[in-house]
Amino acid sequence: MKRDRHAKIIATLGPASSTPQAIEALFRAGADVFRLNFSHGTHDDHRARYEMIRQVEASIGRPIGILLDLQGPKLRVGQFAAGKIELAPGQEFRFDMDKTPGDETRACLPHPEIFSIIQVGTELLLDDGKIRVRVENHGPDYANVRVLTGGPLSDRKGLNVPGEALPISALSDKDRSDLEFGLSLGVDIVALSFVQRPEDVAEARKLVAGRALILSKLEKPQAIDFLDEIVELSDAIMVARGDLGVECPPEVVPILQKRIIETCRHQGKPVVVATQMLESMISAPAPTRAEASDVATAVYDGADAVMLSAETASGKYPLEAVSIMNKIICSVERDGYYQRIMDARAEEPETTAADAICAAARQVSATIGAKAIVTFTSSGSTTLRAARQRPPVPILCLTADIKVARRMALVWGAHGVVTADISSFADMVQSGCRIAHRDEFAHAGERVVIIAGVPFGTPGTTNILRIAWISDQH
C-alpha distances in angstroms, 264 versus 178, 226, 271? 27, 13, 6
Spatial separation of the C-alpha atoms in residues 132 and 301, rounded to whole Å: 33
Q: Write down the catalytic residue from 217, 220, 265, 447.
A: 217
Spatial separation of the C-alpha atoms in residues 351 and 370, rounded to whole Å: 25
**Other beta carbons less than 10 A from residue 292's beta carbon:** 19
Our answer to whether residue 241 is catalytic in this structure is no
Q: Write down the catalytic residue from 47, 54, 74, 76.
A: 76
Spatial separation of the C-alpha atoms in residues 129 and 151, rounded to whole Å: 11
Contact call for residues 453 and 419 (beta carbons, < 8 A): no
Per DSSP, the residues of 143-172 read EEEEEEE-EEEETT-BEE-TT---SS-S--
Our answer to whether residue 275 is catalytic in this structure is yes
| Angle between helix 20-29 and 43-60 (nearest 10) | 60
Q: Write down the catalytic residue from 12, 122, 263, 275.
A: 275
| Angle between helix 173-185 and 43-60 (nearest 10) | 30
Contact call for residues 272 and 304 (beta carbons, < 8 A): yes
Our answer to whether residue 76 is catalytic in this structure is yes
Q: Write down the catalytic residue from 35, 49, 132, 371.
A: 35
Contact call for residues 5 and 333 (beta carbons, < 8 A): yes
Spatial separation of the C-alpha atoms in residues 190 and 211, rounded to whole Å: 10
Catalytic residues: 35, 76, 217, 275
